[in-house]
Amino acid sequence: MKSKLIKFTIVICVLAAIYLLLRHYGVTQNIKLENAHKIKDWVSGFGITAPIVYICLYIVATLFFLPGLPVTVISGIAFGPVFGVVYVWVGATIGVSFAFLVSRYVARDIVERWVSGNNLFKKIDEKVEQEGWRILMFTRLVPIFPFNLQNYAYGLTNIKFLTYVLVSAIFMLPGTIAYVQIGGAIVSGEGNLTRTVIYLSAAGVLIVLVSLIPKFLPKHEID
């Protein structure tokens, strides 16, 4: 019990320190699409370490419930439509993994209070019992449960950590590609209307395709 309390205290202190540091520099308050270029300049200012800084930013955004869409689009602006996808995918995969581990081994009681009385989570928990990884796949493709909260919530289920990481990584990718293309259109298409239209069109098509994927899967409704 004492060991668990020490672990919990250390993790919370480290996460709180990172969050307060980002808040001090105005990062947490300014993660908005209208500030995308400012954040892009801030990230790019780190030179060759910029990808590492960005990945750390994405991990913090995932752990602290910061808006994911602006951070994802910013990657396309800062790194382009290809490397932007890679860095978002790495950051998101690490972030959701940390959230799962914190929930399962460090802050289980707190997460249980967060989802207490949430009927949707109860249904997801039941579906995990019945269908395993398939329900995780479904909730990654269809945002029926808030993304950042579900990362913690899955730590309360009986799904295995490795299964959670692999399925999350695979089925977060389509949405990641779609939204990074929006940022990529701004950079790669800058000064070239045709290229901008192509990238934005690709993003739009991907977003529509992602929304249609569940229609072609076996029924996994949260009834």
* Residue 201 and residue 81 in contact, taking contact as beta carbons nearer than 8 Å: no
Q: What is the pLDDT of residues 161-211, one digit of tens each?
A: 999 999 999 988 888 888 887 776 665 555 454 555 555 566 556 555 655
Better-scored residue on pLDDT, 51 or 210? 51
- 138: amino acid identity, one letter: F
| pLDDT score, position 212 | 58
Taking residue 106's Cβ as centre, other Cβ atoms within 10 Å add up to 20
Categorise residue 141: left if φ over 0, alpha if ψ from -120 to 50, beta otherwise: alpha
Q: Nearest Cα to 22, choosing from 37, 42, 8?
A: 42
| pLDDT score, position 87 | 95
**What whole-number distance in Å separates Cα of residue 198 and Cα of residue 189?**
8
- Which range, 12-21, 87-96, 123-132, 155-164, is most confident? 87-96
| pLDDT score, position 45 | 80
**What whole-number distance in Å separates Cα of residue 111 and Cα of residue 65?**
13
**What whole-number distance in Å separates Cα of residue 199 and Cα of residue 203?**
6
**What whole-number distance in Å separates Cα of residue 76 and Cα of residue 187?**
8
| pLDDT score, position 163 | 93
Largest CA distance in the chain: 62
CA 61, 175, 170 angle in degrees (round to 5)? Answer: 90
* Contacts of 125 by beta carbon, 8 Å cutoff, 6+ apart: 156, 157
SS3 state at 214: helix
Predicted confidence (pLDDT) at residue 47 exceeds the cutoff of 80: yes
Q: What is the pLDDT of residues 58-112, one digit of tens each?
A: 998 888 887 777 888 888 888 888 899 999 999 999 999 999 998 888 877 778 7
| pLDDT score, position 132 | 77
| pLDDT score, position 191 | 47
- 113: amino acid identity, one letter: R
Mean pLDDT of the residues in the chain = 75
What is the residue extent of each domain of the chain?
2-216
Q: Among all chains, which residue has been given the structure tokens 């439509």?
A: 81
CA 166 to chain CA centroid, nearest Å: 14
